[in-house]
Structure formats: C-alpha cells, structure tokens
Amino acid sequence: MAKYAHSDVLDNGLNEIKTYADEMWLVKGYAAGDSYATAAAKKVCSVAMVSGDYTLSGADAAARVLAVATKSNTASASSTGGDNLHVLLVRTAATKILWATDETTDQVVTSGNTVTFPTFNCTSGQPV
C-alpha cells in the first residue's frame, strides 16, 4: 500500500502533475521508492494523459484537490488477485514517477482486456 509524491510535486504543488504527468500506469508490486525503470517493468496498462484530464479545485483555506479523469486502455500484461496494484502518474520525458497511490481492489487483470482507470483525487491539504 505504498504511496508516493515526487519532490517536484511537493515543491511545486498539484500543478506539477497537471502540467507534466503525461501517462497514467497500472503497475503490480509497486514499492515506495521504486525507480521509473523498475515501475515500467511492472506495468500492466498505461494510458496517455493531457492537462485537460486534470481538474484543480478547492476554496481558499481548504485543501486543494486535483481530480484525475476516468480513462481506459487495453492491458499489455496480466496480474493476479494478490499483485498489490498501484496507479502511477508519470512524466515520461523526464522518466519520473510524480504520484503513486494504491489501487484498492487488486482485481485480476488479463492481458488484452480493457482496463478502466476510475476518477480519483490527489489532495494537498492546509498546514496543521
């Protein structure tokens, strides 16, 4: 259940993802600190992303929320029910993982079948 935010996201906020995350990946067996190359080798499915696939919102004095659009593509590899799937937002040109979050269902994915990435939120909260 590893989660991760690249230092570029921590330094520049959610706009770093909106501006630069050009692919969303479903990977199996992701561990916090995995390199881009290691995660790429564990990729089950990927989908292209553009700035318009992200919506940034949140009122003043509230958390900022980046909504990630629903996308679909064909799986390039298979997974089992125990593969601990994660969704990654990546910047391919710079070979960086910008954001990683747990995909909680860990359902079986079969190569050649459609994978649908549901909408989800990346949140940056107010200081405590």
- Average pLDDT by consecutive 10-residue portion of the chain (128 residues)? 90 96 96 94 97 94 94 95 92 97 87 94 89
Domain count, the chain: 1
Question: Residue 67, Cα to own-chain centre: how many angstroms?
Answer: 11
pLDDT at 128: 80
Domain carrying residue 39: 4-124
pLDDT at 59: 86
